[in-house]
Structure 1
Amino acid sequence: MDTIFSRGPSLNLRLTMALVMSVILIFADHKLDAFQSSRVYMNSLMSPLQYLANLPSLMLNASAERLTSHEQLVAENKRLTNQVLLMRERLQRFDVLKSENDTLRKLLDAPVNREMKKTVAELMAVDNNPFSQQIVINKGAIDGVYLSQTVLDERGIVGQVMEVGTTNSRVVLITDVTHAIPVRSERNNIRFIASGTGSLDELLLEHVPHSVDVEVGDMLVSSGLGNVFPEGYPVAKVSRVVRDESRPFAIVTATPLAKLDRLKYLLLLSPSSSKGTSPQTEMVLPSEEASDD
């Protein structure tokens, strides 16, 4: 009697046949490239299915990114709003103090500080010479840049222009070993000469007697002497004072306030009355300390 379900080949035979067919197909695909066109058609056929399979994940990721971006924008907007309010309050006090300061200067017959013209510049390159602390900015003669022009960031003085090109300029940092800047202590108005040490985080105050009143934490601002750097801009903060009586002078070092190792955007200062003219000034170098004193 015939059965409905006839018994086929054994499992071992089926496995052997499958292995043989697999080897033949692999050989044909690898050596003869027989399935290249078939593979292209299959990929084209499966592409819509792959996109559909990835669609939920893509939608969830996009929604999460939008939600995160929205929350960040709301938090940033709130922070900036608070910062604007605080800056407006400070600006109101600054206007009052500026008016009082101008009045006192007139009473004392002292010259009133001139307003400074500000030009925004961007860092282009950093000198890779380990013995030189110089940078290149994207402003030049066509932008009104001139030799010895003061350069600063949002924290303090960075340096001064030493070379002017047509579209870019080279700036020497205050920490360069060839550079020095006249400063004064904000606490007691004692004047110093801050020289570069070749290290981005250290300045050396030259020829400081042991008896001078200088302490760690004293704020140093530009003194205006030498007619290169305008008066009153932050420069550094005293970080170390060593009074060794065996030495003729105290060892006083300061840390620059400007972030010289992470400069991006810079400000170029010039007198607002210059109107594009280039003041002829000389850079302040350590060899000129005697004349400054």
Structure 2
Amino acid sequence: MVTLSSDSRNIIGRGPPLGAGLFFLGLVSVGVMMLDTRGGYLETVRLWLGAAANPVYAVVQTPGQLWDWLTGSFADRTRLRLENAELSEQLRVARVKLLQFDSLREENVRLRAVREASAGVGGRTMIAEIMRVDVDPFRHRVRINKGAEDGVFRNQPVLDAFGIVGQVVQVDKYSATLILISDAEHAIPVQVNRNGIRSIAVGAGDLNKLSLPYMTVESDVKTGDLLVSSGLDGIFPAGYPVAHVTRVERNPADTFALVEAKPLAQLDRDREVLLLWTDPPTQVEAPAQESDIASKPAAATSQPKPAATTETAPAAETPPKPPAAQPQPQQPSQE
């Protein structure tokens, strides 16, 4: 029977001593570091090792970079959408505020009254969306999604970012109907911004044309003049752009000239309009004027009575009696 002999010595002890190997590796490391420090012999090796490890780094970092790109893309899209909506709203409001500046740019001293009236226009506006357009080609009317619940009232002026659109003609609880300035049944008092000549712009049944039938042949109006609202109707505030004059024909045999204008508002492309609230000063002054008028008759009635007594006193033969008739208790008996 064959028996296997086993060696009881440790396997580590069979090779070279660990201390000698560690000492040898230390000498090699020190030598390599000295050569690299003084001569830079390992720079090329380092470059090649870095180039070889670059694909490994790229593979390891790809999932994280892909996730960051996806999350950042969606976040940027949402942020840009919100910023775009906010900037659009700010641009719309800024354009409305700049409408008066264009109309007041070329005004002179004679238009100071109109300028002061337009400066008092309230800044409250509300954006309304057009829900439906009247399909009748002879009726230029639209319906918006704001009504009496939102404070909309009849004859309220309506604008867009470029000029006057029209006014409210019918109000429901949650919606309202607008008549455009191009409707054949609509008219708006205007004036030429260049010289202040007043007239009336009437709708011609065409979205791109207004008619000024009451402009005389001698009127100083020419092609390119800016027409602004005069504010004399008590509906539209003064100084808002309405249209540009596009055609002027004069016949000496006629009394009135043929004047046509193009509305500045985008009547055929607007999807949103602006409802304007104004605070006319006449509504505040009216009660005061009525109180003054009411007080004047009282003063007028009280003053003639003493005057009448003083006038009748000299006519009487007995002077002591008229002073006794002047007190208030005896006035009803005199009347």
**Same fold (TM > 0.5):** yes
Which residue in 2 is equivalent to 1:208?
Answer: 215
Asked whether 1:143 is paired with 2:180, we answer no
Percent identical: 49
2:270 to 263, 271, 290: 263
Cα deviation, residue 244, structure 1: 1.7
Asked whether 1:172 is paired with 2:173, we answer no
Mapped to 2, the partners of 1:229 and 1:198 lie a distance apart of: 21
Q: How does 1:112-261 map to 2 (within 5 A)?
A: 113-261=120-268
The SS at the match of 2:170 is strand
Cα deviation, residue 247, structure 1: 2.6
**Structure 2 counterpart of 1:184, which letter?**
Q
The count of residues paired between Structure 1 and Structure 2 equals 191
Mapped to 2, the partners of 1:110 and 1:228 lie a distance apart of: 13
The SS at the match of 1:208 is coil
The structure showing larger relative contact order (alpha-carbon pairs under 8 Å, at least 6 residues apart) is 1
Mapped to 2, the partners of 1:134 and 1:156 lie a distance apart of: 17
Extract unaligned runs of 5+ from structure 2.
1-69, 282-335
Q: How does 1:35-46 map to 2 (within 5 A)?
A: none
The SS at the match of 2:205 is coil
Q: Which runs of 4+ in 1 moved over 3 A?
A: 108-112
Matched-pair contact (CA < 8 Å) for 1:186–1:220: yes
Mapped to 2, the partners of 1:245 and 1:111 lie a distance apart of: 37
- Provide the alpha-carbon RMSD of the alignment: 3.7
Mapped to 2, the partners of 1:121 and 1:127 lie a distance apart of: 17
Deviations 1:172-218 (A, max 9, x none): 00010010000111111111100000000000012111111001000
Which residue in 1 is equivalent to 2:53?
Answer: none
The SS at the match of 1:271 is coil
The SS at the match of 2:149 is helix
The SS at the match of 1:171 is strand
The SS at the match of 1:207 is coil
Mapped to 2, the partners of 1:230 and 1:109 lie a distance apart of: 11
Which residue in 1 is equivalent to 2:4?
Answer: none
**Structure 1 counterpart of 2:244, which letter?**
K
Mapped to 2, the partners of 1:249 and 1:137 lie a distance apart of: 38
Matched-pair contact (CA < 8 Å) for 2:127–2:273: yes
Cα deviation, residue 224, structure 1: 0.3
Extract unaligned runs of 5+ from structure 1.
1-62, 275-293
More helix by share: 2
More strand by share: 1
The SS at the match of 2:214 is strand
Matched-pair contact (CA < 8 Å) for 2:141–2:183: yes
Matched-pair contact (CA < 8 Å) for 1:121–1:268: yes
Structure 1 residues 142 and 177 mapped into 2: Cα distance closer, same or farther (>3 Å)?
Answer: same
**Structure 2 counterpart of 1:196, which letter?**
G
Which residue in 2 is equivalent to 1:55?
Answer: none
Structure 1 residues 126 and 243 mapped into 2: Cα distance closer, same or farther (>3 Å)?
Answer: same
Mapped to 1, the partners of 2:124 and 2:151 lie a distance apart of: 11
Cα deviation, residue 110, structure 1: 7.8
Matched-pair contact (CA < 8 Å) for 2:162–2:241: yes
Matched-pair contact (CA < 8 Å) for 1:117–1:272: no
Structure 1 residues 272 and 116 mapped into 2: Cα distance closer, same or farther (>3 Å)?
Answer: farther
